[in-house]
Chain A
Amino acid sequence: MASLELRNVVKRYKSQTVLDNLSLTVADGETLVLFGPSGAGKTVLLRLVAGVIDPDEGNILIGGEDMTDVDAEFRGVGMAFQNFALFPHMTAFDNIATPLEASRSSQSAIKAGVESVAKLLKIGHVLSHKPRALSNGQKQRTALARALVGSPPVLLLDDPLRNVDAKLRFEMRLELPRLLADRGATVVYVTQDYKEAMALGDRIAVMSQGVIKQLGTPEQIYREPANIEIARLFGDPTINLLDVKPSRDAKGIYIGLSNVQVHLAGSYETAVGRDCVIGLRPEALAFVDEGTPAAIPVTVEAETPLNEKIVTLVRTVRGREILVSRPAGTPGQTEGRAYIAVDGKSALLFDRASGDRIGSKNVVNLRSGEAA
């Protein structure tokens, strides 16, 4: 198998810089998810690795070997495209067989290879169909099978679940990690869906405007987002963001929410007196009884049951809207006045001007040096 490394890669289109001095290492057998909004440069990065476009500067190494000037057909990567990119004039079988034909395998080896991967992806019964006759889900699996069939050491998956329906996406999200782990390949997976990113990635690289904003495990990205933008992208319902100005008293550093002092766990010494934004995950908030220390009075505005959880929209006395999430089946306030408590340990503090998260000492900031 092979590791993958990008060194100071720059890609420009006309005057626009799409990838800006980007460096990234993916370990052998690791699944790295590239996550970010469209236009962040994720697909361009994948195509650079595949070798179908050339970088303006920098180097691309696969298995320690410099592949920057090597043509796509010699790089030994497999790629699944977001739009499937199946060959419309060939049957599903012939589509999947193309990587094996290139390696001059025998007819029987091709047949065996295609059929085994087709069985794995449950498309054995449609191999004689042309792409036109396939459903979106089957097309997606055919494209995936074509990427997998040659057992390439590096697999590039460009948002392969983008164009399939929600049910299939959910199924594949469960199936894919096992499938990829079985292959043992080094995987770069592009997605815009944070759930997919969390489910599939050993590590996630959050990209925006051609640079990697944060690189870390799904846990790190969720618990310690580098900035407000990333905190907002991960999590459903979206994180609550409230403007605050931390102060200090004898018990430590606190923020004022609706005239209630909420003490923050951890040391945010530098934040005292600064204009900040507090990030509160909806699941870090809970309904509590009246009289609980540091309980914030709110009015319940609306409640949305979402199968496994219930999301409640509440309004504070100062008119700010907050989302509270609780597991389905647990008791909560459904209307009128209520009190919520904030879990001070999971609160995230951001600098309002720069948007960057203000670090606290009791949270270990792993690998933060790697984030650009």
Chain B
Amino acid sequence: MEHTSLLERILRGVALTLVVIFFMFPIVWIFMMSFQTNETILRIPPQLVFKPTLANYTALITGKLTTAAGTLDIAFMRNLWNSVFLSVTSVAVALLLGVPAAYAFARHKFRGSEDIAFTLLSFRFAPALLVLLPLTLYFQKLGLSNTYIGLIWVYQLICLPLILWIVRGYFEDIPADIEYAYRIAGHSWFATFRKIALPLAGPGIAAAGLLAFIFAWNNFVFALVLASADKQPVTVGALAFITSSGIQYGQISAAIVLSITPTLALALYAQRYLVEGLSLGAVKG
């Protein structure tokens, strides 16, 4: 055991506290703002002690935003549902397509495999705005604009390369001998993929899926251009809080709290799979 002096421990504690405060402050502040009215938020100097109100959450859930200029309808819950639906479906589709593709790229070096893999990665290079204009025109021609299918399709630009490249690395890390051993034991290549490759790459697939989910959830510009109100996710929906009578900070904060909750919950849940890591103790270290 390493012995640390009292001073060292105190300094370490102070340093850790500073780091935590630095990183957590915005989130804590937003969380506090979500329980305040616009007047208390905008008071100068800001107050740490206030009378909490659930008005912001009520407004979001009921969809009635009361401002000085009158009552506004907001579709926040609808937006939240859209976010969940779009992200989950996009990641599911990307996993379904990307994981077998990643396996193929990792294990079977066929003619042009590197080129195809790189082309898929290059989707991430191009600025989204550059792609958007031609995409909008195509989508209008194909009747895909303002449809869930169209959006999920476009979200593959975000999710698929991510999943493909992360999972491919994990598949490549599995020693080929382990898969050979299963084949020689008398199992088909598909059984080998299902029983050996998939479980061993599990943590990688979970990590890639989670990342893809977060990227899909946070996407703004695709949905802004390609979807109208009833298909928009929270990222776009949050624009509704900038009203003619001012910015509704209280509601925005509450909306942020509600919209980061699913990702946060998912990350916390997936964490144990991420930490577990590849346990390849069967092969010599």
Contacts and interface: CB of A to CB of B under 8 A. Distances in A.
B7 interface: no
A78 B184 contact: yes
A52 B283 contact: no
A89 interface: yes
Contact of B182 (A47, A75, A98, A133): A98
A83 B175 contact: yes
Interface residues of A, number: 35
A309 to B, nearest CB: 32
Given A83-B175, A150-B186, A136 B284 contact: yes
B180 A73 contact: no
Contacts of B96: none
Given A52-B180, A83-B177, A85-B177, A146 B282 contact: no
B281 to A, nearest CB: 3
Interface in A300-342: none
6 contacts: A73-B183, A87-B181, A87-B182, A89-B200, A130-B281, A131-B282
B13 interface: no
Given A86-B282, A89-B279, A163-B284, A102 B178 contact: no
Contacts of A131: 281-282
A85 B283 contact: yes
A85 B186 contact: no
B188 interface: yes
Contacts of B178: 85-88
B199 interface: yes
Interface of A: 47, 50-52, 71-75, 77-79, 81, 83-89, 95, 98-99, 101-103, 130-133, 136, 139, 146, 150, 163
A84 B282 CA distance: 7
A73 B187 CA distance: 6
Contacts of B281: 88, 130-133
Given A81-B177, A83-B177, A50 B184 contact: yes
Given A52-B184, A83-B175, 12 more contacts: A73-B186, A79-B181, A83-B284, A85-B282, A88-B279, A88-B281, A89-B279, A98-B182, A98-B185, A99-B185, A130-B281, A131-B281
Contacts of A47: 180
B188 A73 contact: yes
Contacts of B187: 73, 98, 101-102
A346 B234 CA distance: 89
Given A73-B186, A83-B177, A89 B199 contact: yes
Interface in B183-204: 183-189, 196, 199-200
Contacts, number: 92
Contacts of A89: 199-200, 279
Interface-centre pick from A50, A71, A78, A87 (highest chain B CB count, 10 A): A87
A61 B185 CA distance: 19
Interface in B149-205: 175, 177-178, 180-189, 196, 199-200
Contact of B185 (A83, A88, A102, A163): A102
Nearest to B192: A73
Pairs A-B, 10 closest by C-beta atoms: A102-B186, A132-B281, A86-B282, A131-B282, A85-B177, A88-B282, A72-B183, A99-B185, A98-B185, A52-B180
Interface string B51-91: 00000000000000000000000000000000000000000
How many chain B residues sit at the interface, stated as a range, is 20 to 34
A132 B282 contact: yes
Contacts of A88: 178, 200, 279-283
Interface in B256-285: 279-284
A154 to B, nearest CB: 11
A71 B182 CA distance: 12
Contact of B181 (A81, A101, A103): A81
Contacts of B200: 88-89
Contacts of A79: 180-181, 184
Nearest to B278: A88
A31 B183 CA distance: 23
A102 B185 CA distance: 7
Nearest to B174: A88
B175 A85 contact: yes
Contacts of A146: 181, 185
Given A88-B200, A89-B199, A89-B200, A83 B283 contact: yes
Contacts of A95: 282
